[in-house]
Structure 1
Amino acid sequence: LDFGIAKPIDDDSAREEVTTARYFTLRYAAPEQVLGEPVGTASDVYALAVVLFELLTGRHPYLPEGADARSLVSQALTRQPLSLRRALQAAKRSWPLGEARLRDLDALLEKALLRGDGAVGHASMAAFAEDLQAVLEDRPLSLRRTPMIERTWRWLRRHRLAAASMTLGVLGLLVGSAVALWQAQLARVERDSALHEAERAERIAGFLTGMFTAPRPIENQGAPLAASELLDRARERLQDELADDPLLRVQLTATLAETYRALGLYETAEQLLIEALAVPLPDSDAPQRSGLLLQLGRVLSFQARWPEADAQLWEAADLAR
């Protein structure tokens, strides 16, 4: 490598220095050096790039095998340098650092080696070294714009442990948030269910209390009400007070029907059960309907209406399956 042959250049000086003596190794000399043109740091970068290319591929980026080094200038000024990828493939050499870094190093060497119109090399050896270090560390190069997604992916590859920790942290946060939301939703459902049950219990208590309150105390003259009168009063109130809660209405109707049956008032019990079965209920309340059919079958059997009772009992069994 012909470092030290070119005269030192002051970075702060706008004046170009030209070497007067021409001492160089033709194979590694930049074309401008061979032609006696002004040389600078870019010439040293060129020489270093040639050495690096040969170390990686075993051949020169411009000269074919066995070619005369004197044809180097014309080759370098009129042609693109051989790509690192093609040279590695031709030499059947492997590249252990991944596709992204091969692409970056190829671009880095091409910039350092390219000559001719419009060619702009690295401004300094430090800039070339910085890009070379970036290739080794899988960082974006200064010589080309790197999309944000590629920058992110490179950062993740360089910091696998930190990325894994961050991923686990984010997953933990998401799982924790999901569990918290699920628990909050479950708590709301349980709260709403408890409030609904409390409201139903209050309505049942009010309904039962109303059964024992005489609407016309003077007419009753303090005499105790008969059981059938209490039941008749409750039956009338069912139609008015519980129209907005079909399930509760059906449950209380079934209770009244069972009480009528116990008093031997089978026809009234049957009528109540038929009314309860006519109330539309969701499919989820199929057990309630099955219980009503079973209860109706029992009432019919107490009236010795065996075929009808048998039909209701079979329907209840089918619904319960």
Structure 2
Amino acid sequence: MNKWNNYSLAMLCLLLMVLLSACSSNQADSAINEEDSKDGSVRYYESEKGNVEIPLEPSRVVVAVRDYVGDVLAAGVKPVGISETMVFDAPYYQDRLDGVESVGEDTAISLEKITSLNPDLIITYAEDSYEQLSKIAPTVLLPYGTLDYEERLLEIGNILNKEQEAEQRLEQYQEKVKEKKEQLSNILEQDAKVAIIEVTDKDLYLFGKTYGRGGEILYNQLGLEQPQKVEEVTEAEGWASISQETIPEYLGEADYILMGVREQGSDRKAEVQSSKLWTELPAVKEGKVYEYDLDSFYFQDVIALDYQLDLLVDFFQSSEK
């Protein structure tokens, strides 16, 4: 009997110890949760680098890469600092960037400048600078190219706690696309084909559905087609390099051509446009070539797309008069 009582007492003590330990653990966890909810100023965002503690209402945002600046602006947040690469030259951003400071270019971000701006949140896709940026302020790494323009805006809206603003801006743009598509249905053939070519000082590039230059609008939103050969070579990467001799092979089927010229590419452009390979293209003969400004057509957020949509619709309408 004594042995049984001793055994029961030992088991009871062990059970009490386990219960006390569990209660202590739960209380500790509850304290953390209560502290977070009481403070209400931070939350956790699950990023490529794990959970990141970020401000609930970020007020001093640095966008350390050019391609996310438009999304942050579209979500209703004016950053304190941005990567300047091409951004300040884009006409659709200029009236939105008063007082916003440059933190350098994508490939040469100034950590010192970012620190001086005292950011409470940094957004980037640059793996090579992530650790350094994280030492300055909470940093979210959002990989580039994994989300389309809609998904990217909504995700950045989530990061900034501006989901409603992002959704509203997206809806406004999509409604405009419907209206413009209806306008074009009256003047364009249903199977109209459009090709995008860009000229540099050395190379010629074709662009597809996912690499800016109006491709997102033309093919994914307005529902226009690419010449088959262009689609084949741009499908994987969104772009392809071609030789001048193959221009008829890729552009001969196009009813319309968009042409861009990069800096220092003007001599090459003149060479291309003076060649018979170019002048004999059906779209060229019919005057259906639109020379786009790279500053206007590089980015593909809703602010940029909204601006580009107007230019493209104007081009198609003027081509068919």
- TM-score scaled by structure 1? 0.20
Query: Which gives a bigger RCO, structure 1 or 2 (Cα 8 Å, sep 6+)?
Result: 2
- After TM superposition, the score normalised by the length of structure 2 is 0.20
Between structures 1 and 2, the one with greater strand share = 2
Q: Which of these two proteins has the greater Rg computed from alpha carbons?
A: 1
More helix by share: 1
